[in-house]
């Protein structure tokens, strides 16, 4: 399982941190994984699946 940080996530999904947080709160974006007190990441495969789902809906 690969965990990506914000730097990689923003290259995949061109949304602001605030918008990603809103999508997570609404349950429409993969939840972040707490890695430490001040560090979070996202599961790469979940983000890719989310993007692929958007592509199917177009």
User: Residue 36 has what pLDDT?
Assistant: 94
How many other CB atoms sit within 10 Å of the CB of residue 4? Answer: 19
**Total Cβ atoms within 10 A of residue 9:** 19
pTM assigned to the model: 0.92
Asked if 50 and 7 count as a contact pair (C-beta separation under 8 A), the reply is no
Residue spans of the domains in the chain: they are: 3-56
Which pLDDT does position 55 carry in this prediction? 95
What pLDDT score was predicted for residue 45? Answer: 98
Question: Tokens representing 36?
Answer: 């430490």
**Residue-wise pLDDT tens digits, 5-56:** 999 999 999 999 999 999 999 999 999 999 999 999 999 999 999 999 999 9
Contact assessment for residue 23 and residue 32, using Cβ atoms and an 8 Å cutoff: no
């Amino acid at each position: 399982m690969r965990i990506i940080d914000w730097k990689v996530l923003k290259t995949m999904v061109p949304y602001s941190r605030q918008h990603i947080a809103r999508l997570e709160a609404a349950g429409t974006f993969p939840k972040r994984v707490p890695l430490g007190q001040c560090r979070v990441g996202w599961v790469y495969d979940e983000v890719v699946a989310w993007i692929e789902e958007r592509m199917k809906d177009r």
